[in-house]
Structure 1
Amino acid sequence: MSPTTLAAPDPARPARAVDPEVDGGPGEGLRPADGPVCSPTCCPADGLAVGEAEELAGLLKALADPVRLRLYSRIADGDGETCVCDLGDVGVSQPTVSHHLRKLREAGLIESERRGTWVYYRPVRDALAPLQHVAHWSADR
């Protein structure tokens, strides 16, 4: 396969030839076809697989809202189950609380059970396990 010329992002800089067999094709890092890698010590990790990234992003998105984070912390810090009536004021209306609790359920962070008039919530065991990836990133190296 012959090298492909990429358009230079800056018209003042010339385009460079890139060999897809060397560079790994679309989505991969680029390097000059006739030159070395940027540094012999440059060794990026594989990172997260697509499925893992999507799962982690969904979990982080669910917890990124301050109201949902407060609701989750009240449920997760409780002993066993927490009745919706015991969640207390989180600064939003009851329909908004219901919406946020539904988002936490959909994210797999909490489970619920209706008993008569009340709904009881409990944290899902190991629901936060995917966050271990994030903690690993911040570890001293």
Structure 2
Amino acid sequence: MDFDGTATVFKALGDAHRLRALHFLATADAGCCSTGQGVCTCDVQQQLGLSQPTTSHHMKLLVEAGLVHAEKRSKWTYYTLSPRGLLVARTALDGLLAAAPSAQEAI
């Protein structure tokens, strides 16, 4: 297991704003700037209720952790979820759950 990479993912997941952003990316519909090829920064900003620089900071951390892909188009950046990044978190949790003797009894 890549402990450093996994820790980076969990650090990114350790903030309520970033969790809201991930949920928004997963559930955004065509009513926002979503083109089917990502969600626009402007919509993420509006959803989070944060300033543009703060929103960009949170999204940058999600991108660096590998949880989100970013694509610059003209003036805006569009974001999509990264299945690979989400799989890192899931795999780490599954591994811990399988290794914990009492956890298997709770299932």
Give TM-score, length-normalised by structure 2.
0.71
Match of 1:133 in 2: 92
The number of aligned residues is 91
**What is the percent sequence identity of the aligned residues?**
35
Which structure shows the higher helix fraction? 2
Partner amino acid, structure 2, of 1:133: A
Q: Cα distance, 1:136 vs. partner?
A: 4.2
Structure 1 stretches of 4+ moved >6 Å: none
Higher RCO, Cα 8 Å, sep 6+? 2
**Structure 1 regions of 5+ residues with no counterpart?**
1-48
Match of 1:119 in 2: 77
Name the larger-Rg structure.
1
Equivalent position SS for 1:135: helix
**Structure 2 regions of 5+ residues with no counterpart?**
29-35, 98-102
Partner amino acid, structure 1, of 2:43: D
Superposition RMSD in Å: 1.9
Match of 1:11 in 2: none
Give the whole-Å Cα distance in 1 for the aligned partners of 2:59 and 2:12: 10
Give the whole-Å Cα distance in 2 for the aligned partners of 1:120 and 1:72: 13
